[in-house]
Amino acid sequence: QVQLQESGPGLVKPSETLSLTCIVSNGSISGYSWSWIRQPPGRALEWIGYVLDTGGTNYNPSLKSRVTISLDTSKNQFSLKLRSVTAADTAVYYCARRVDTILVTDAFDIWGQGTMVTVSS
């Protein structure tokens, strides 16, 4: 069974860049697209964006100017960079596998456990 595990700093200072990595184990990163989703405390999940296996990306317009999601097939992992963070970016960050087929459109079928990132000085 494919498993995902997020890693990265739990504390980031305001105005700096949040960087997270998601390691894909027990399966190949190729052939799928990969997403980042976050959940601020007490709020709904927010889709951040995804990277296709070709390297193409699709981002939430509300975050597009600050976000980069990239793939590293040699390490079987993908990453998130969110620039110029503020307290509003404090959230649990999840990585997830995106499924997009004729039958299943833009669903997230495998998720990591999530990692809490706090933005504070």
Partner 1 sequence: DIQMTQSPSSLSASVGDSVTITCRASQNIGAYLNWYQQKPGKAPKLLIYAASSLQSGVPSRFSGSGSGTDFTLTIRSLQPEDFATYFCQQSYTTPKTFGQGTHLEIK
Q: Which residues bind partner 1 (CB under 8 A)?
A: 4, 43-47, 58, 60-62, 94, 96, 99, 103-114
Closer CB to partner 1, 31 or 44, in the complex: 44
Q: Give the HSE-up count for residue 16: Cα atoms under 13 Å, Cβ half-sphere.
A: 13
Shortest Å, Cβ 35 to partner 1: 9
CA angle in degrees (0–180, nearest 5) for 27-39-117: 80
Q: How distant, in Å, are the alpha carbons of 5, 30, 70 from that of 64?
A: 24, 24, 14
Shortest Å, Cβ 96 to partner 1: 8
Closer CB to partner 1, 35 or 79, in the complex: 35
Closer CB to partner 1, 79 or 94, in the complex: 94
Shortest Å, Cβ 76 to partner 1: 18
Contacts of 54 (CB under 8 A, 6+ apart): none
